[in-house]
Amino acid sequence: GNSVTQMEGPVTLSEEAFLTINCTYTATGYPSLFWYVQYPGEGLQLLLKATKADDKGSNKGFEATYRKETTSFHLEKGSVQVSDSAVYFCAPMNSGGSNYKLTFGKGTLLTVNP
Amino acid sequence: NAGVTQTPKFQVLKTGQSMTLQCAQDMNHEYMSWYRQDPGMGLRLIHYSVGAGITDQGEVPNGYNVSRSTTEDFPLRLLSAAPSQTSVYFCASSGRDREAFFGQGTRLTVV
């Protein structure tokens, strides 16, 4: 099955700092790749996705590029805000068929201070 | 625009009690799943379903049952609650665009 190794947290940054959260995965075939975000007390919501090699997903200033050669999908943001404080999860999804099974990393807690 | 609705939001059970966590989605998604979230463990898949009448086990299925009689509903049953089942439970559904939509979660405490 799929597996994910995600950068250990917690990560604490000052506002406007640069963010990188590393994610590498193992998977059969060519999975779709996702980053989900969980704000305090809420469920997960999709942040961005990429479905094939070299695709770049982007949303709310966050970006991640599907790197097939290094099996990585690192999350970046050039200038974080206090409102970005949350837990971030990297997750590959099975490719093909109707089994949309996600495998989650352990999550990275990000705290952004003013 | 309800999305995925989970009930209840909070529940306290005594060891040995049974209960059902409800999950409903209104997006006509074929795929539904249940996860539990524990500190330091991320989300672990309990059971999933690729359509009405079809269910399968995930990573941590012991102590849980599911059924899928309709496309909309995917209840999770705890047969005999144990303290190890204290967790936050999330239901999710996905359609052909592969984006997973999550419910708000059920925080379960077993005493």
Each residue's pLDDT tens digit, A8-57: 889 999 999 999 999 999 987 888 999 999 998 889 999 999 999 999 99
Bridge partners (DSSP) listed for residue B26: none
Which of the 8 DSSP states describes residue B68? -
* Residue B98 pLDDT > 90: no
Which one of A101, A103, A106 would you mutate to disrupt binding with B, by most B Cβ within 10 Å of its Cβ? A101
Task: State how far residue A14 is from chain B, nearest Cα, in angstroms.
Answer: 24
DSSP string covering A62-85: EEEE-BTTTTB--EEESS--GGG-
The sign of the torsion formed by the CA atoms of B34, A28, A64, A19 equals positive
Chain A, residues 13-42, CB within 8 A of chain B, namely 32, 34, 36, 42
Of B50, B100, B104, the CB nearest to A102: B100
Q: What is the pLDDT of residue A1?
A: 76
